Amino acid sequence: MSRKTNPKLTVVGAGPGDPDLITLKAVKALQNANVVLYDALIDPVLLEHCPAETEKIYVGKRPGQSHSQDWINELIVEKAFAAGHVVRLKGGDPYVFGRGQEELAYARPFGIETDYVPGLSSALAVPGNAGIPMTARGVSESFWVITGTKTDGSLSRDLCLALCSTATIVVLMGMNKLQEIADLCVQMGRADVPAAILQNGTTAEQRTAIGTAQELPRLALEQKLSNPAVIVLGEVVRYGSATPSTDWQEFLQNGQFFDTRG
């Protein structure tokens, strides 16, 4: 195959799971792709936006699979020069724990044109789809989005800082750290803060478990919840367990939302 003179990389966010939540700009990128490198959480329906001749390569990271980030970076460059326009299709938003910036930065020194198409982050869309807002007047005025598992495998220390506030806390990639999260909440005096586990958010397979922070491991075990899932901590979780007819103004006035820091 001849070497292409105009190699290009577009890093594209596919959204949180529901294929209808991809953006129009993302669809246009797929329609003009020569190669698509896609992740594990991508709904295969999205690949139907590509031309029939587009090469589609699965590069997802799952236990037992050998798709390292270094290998993916090298493949991006190889395919860009061999085929032209490479679309790197990632779940959620590539700039929210998605390594999108790393892949763009790797490609640029090779003279590859780069572009970025934002996606709807699961940190916002998945709780919202379950009726849980990130902020709510009189309840939460800010939110944190934290990784549950850092590169070295440890739980982010930022969770301690977040638990000192009244902010909503969203933990991504934290299902393997549920006991640590629960224990830390107990240590920080936040054992009873409302908590939710949202599995397969925005898809037909979405499942929701709501309780308190100290109950997170039990909820996951009893309801057999696993990855992919989003964990939410904060008073706004109460909205997710309410009925549509709830009078929220009355709910607030009656003091049913409270500061669980003691």
Known catalytic residues? 39, 61, 173
Say how far apart CA 59 and CA 107 lie, in whole Å: 17
DSSP letters along the chain, please?
-PPPSS-EEEEEE-BSS-GGGS-HHHHHHHHT-SEEEE-TT--GGGGGGS-TT-EEEE----TT----HHHHHHHHHHHHHHHSEEEEEESB-TTTTS-HHHHHHHHGGGT-EEEEE----HHHHHHHHTT--S-BTTTBS-EEEEESS-TTSPPPTHHHHHHTSSSEEEEES-GGGHHHHHHHHHHTT-TTSEEEEEESTTSTT-EEEEEEGGGHHHHHHHTT--SSEEEEESTTHHHHTS-TT--HHHHHHTT-S--TT-
Distance CA 234, CA 169 (A): 6
